[in-house]
Amino acid sequence: MADTSTQTPNPPKQKKAKKPLKIKARAPRGFVDKTAPTVRAEQGLIQAVTAIYGQHGFEPLETSAFEYADALGKFLPDDDRPNAGVFALQDDDEQWMALRYDHTAPLARYAAENWQHLAKPYRRYAAGPVWRNEKPGPGRFREFWQCDADIVGSDNPAADAEICLIARKGLTAAGLSDEQVSIKINNRKLLNATLDMAEVSDPTQKLIVLRALDKLDRLGLEGVTALLGDGRKDESGDFTTGAKLTPKQIETVLAFSTAGRETRADTLTALEGVVGGHAEGAAGLAELRAMDALFTALGHPPGAFVFDPGIVRGLEYYTGVVFEAELNIQVQDEKGRPVQFGAVGGGGRYDDLMTRFTGQPVPATGFSFGVSRLVSALQAAGQTIEAPAPLVMVLVLDAEHTDHSFLLAERVRQAGISTEVYVGTSGMKAQMKHADRRNAFAAVIVGEDERQDSTVTIKNLELGRQLAQRIDSREKWAEERPGQVTVPADDMVKTLQEMWDGNQA
């Protein structure tokens, strides 16, 4: 028998190390990342609009991103579905919290909580993100910014008129012309009177009528008539059930919604003929007349503020005046057909929104617009909201003298010019490429010769970009050395300022 005592067993096979799992980089559906141009545009827009709000005595208010779910009121369908329409979570005390759906519900909660300490009427504006747990789609996001202005504690039609005034002034301050902005105004009391006269009392029917009339500008009279009746099939073949009104009821509703005329005075006369004999209708007409008198006294042209019975607003909580900011800007749809840009914001009176906190109505009125949508409108109109801030790039050619580059950068920053010091480890060529990718208008270059002579070399990158389109040979480019100067270090800031001004001329 063979001696196997000196034999060693086969060593175990080594398992191959598993590669680390790579997670796919992706943003959640309905959420977007905003790059510097978009952020600057939105910030510039908000600053322009809120400056107008401030001029009218409105003060800023920031509420938390989360509210208790029951404070969101009509946006939460039932207690058993806390995530329907909103993003909600249950706190450790078992209360449901939800990300705010808009800025109005948090305002109602804040005003009710602090009512005894507020100067009334309370005027506030707010700008910030809101979240909606809805199906995302083209142009429809789950997170977006809104900007609001509201007056709480006044039932005076002058408050509604002022909200309309600052809505229009804010849009023109953002860069739109007077001719491009029109505020279209209606009153829910007129619609309530119309439905009462038409004997439409079923809550479901009323809601369908409301939503149908809100589509008048998009579907036209024929489409809305179908929705007031049995229903309508759209281009995709989907069928929307209608309000199932009788022909006479439809006639009464349409007589109201089509009562708009060329002037506010003529529209009021036409509406008088439709709802003037109804108590609630008469009250709504009186409110519109008071607003008309204020607009006229301030000298605004007829097209600035238009009484339009077709404006109803989709939300149920409006109780009186409703309005939309409409842009008279023509753009092209995906098929190249001309279409009007339409509404970028709206609002109205919501006297019942605080009732769930106070137990009684508190008068309130306000306006809100979507920041991203308004930025898109301005871009469609060819308007620049805010130009990129000028940027200077200071190169570091010798790591031992990095401090010198930082000292130079501080001198430029003190003059109000944004300045970046290159903190990578690459050479001059890569640094110049980086400056170009950062869209810097100038690069400050300091080598050994410049340090010894107390000078700096400044390269006008923006001028170089412009000349690059006209100089057709590398030799000519090197010969002309466009926009490059060497100046005393004490003249660096002055030279950069003159260079920036010259580029903008």
Smallest Cα–Cα separation from 46: which of 388, 371, 343? 371
* pLDDT value, residue 467: 62
Smallest Cα–Cα separation from 486: which of 452, 446, 439? 446
Distance CA 439, CA 390 (A): 9
Residue 92 in contact with residue 61, Cβ under 8 Å?
no
Distance CA 368, CA 348 (A): 9
Q: List domains and CATH numbers for the chain.
A: 36-65+100-200+245-380 (3.30.930.10), 391-504 (3.40.50.800)
* pLDDT value, residue 75: 46
Q: Long-range contacts: 115-122, Cβ < 8 Å, 24+?
A: 115/358, 115/362, 118/152, 118/153, 120/152, 120/153, 120/154, 121/151, 121/152, 121/153, 121/154, 121/159, 122/151, 122/152, 122/153
Res. 452 pLDDT band, cuts 50 70 90: very high
| pTM, to two decimals | 0.82
* pLDDT value, residue 6: 55
* DSSP H helices in 56-187: 104-113, 157-173
- Which residues, including other chains, have CB under 8 Å from residue 171's CB and lie 6 or more apart? 49, 181, 325, 327, 344, 369, 374
Smallest Cα–Cα separation from 339: which of 303, 382, 380? 380
Which is more confident, 485 or 74?
485
Residue 428 confidence (pLDDT) above 50: yes
Res. 356 pLDDT band, cuts 50 70 90: confident
Preceding amide of 77 cis, omega within 30: no
* pLDDT value, residue 478: 47
Res. 9 pLDDT band, cuts 50 70 90: low
The H or E element that residue 287 is part of is helix 279-297
Res. 470 pLDDT band, cuts 50 70 90: low
* pLDDT value, residue 77: 40
CB atoms within 10 A of CB 68: 13
* pLDDT value, residue 13: 67
Helix axes 264-275, 188-197, angle to 10 degrees: 30
Per-residue pLDDT tens for 329-341?
776 656 666 666 7
Residue 145 in contact with residue 38, Cβ under 8 Å?
no
